[in-house]
Amino acid sequence: MRGWFIPVISMFYGIIVSLYFFDNKEHKAPHVHIKFQDEEIVLSIPDGRIFSGELNPAKLKLAQAWIEIHKDELMADWQLAANGQEVFKIDPLK
């Protein structure tokens, strides 16, 4: 079995967005892992809903806005990651 590979797909305003390879077994639904300082949250790609964790409210709003803007690209990356393929970087929030 391959080890976990955690590609960073975007970074903006101190927020790091990752999409784990083969992570479809844990949460099943498409999602991203968001880190800011010592906080981590898992957000749904389709609607920005919180699956687990906590995040500074202002940073959460930025992350959810970024997900909404890049939803199509994120869903394409999710499919790649779920199949163990390399994902693409996505533009940061500007």
pLDDT in tens, 15-74: 999 987 666 555 578 999 999 999 999 999 999 999 999 999 999 999 999 999 999 999
* Per-residue pLDDT band at 78 (split at 50, 70, 90): very high
Query: What residues make up the domain containing 19?
Result: 8-82
**Helix and strand counts by DSSP (H, E) for the chain:** 3, 5
Q: pTM of the full predicted structure? A: 0.87
Residue 91 forms part of a structural domain: no
Residue 15 forms part of a structural domain: yes
Residue 35 forms part of a structural domain: yes
What's the pLDDT at 24?
A: 58
Residue 69 forms part of a structural domain: yes
What's the pLDDT at 1?
A: 37
Secondary element (H or E) of residue 44: strand 39-44
Residue 90 forms part of a structural domain: no
Q: In the chain, how many domains are there?
A: 1
What's the pLDDT at 2?
A: 47
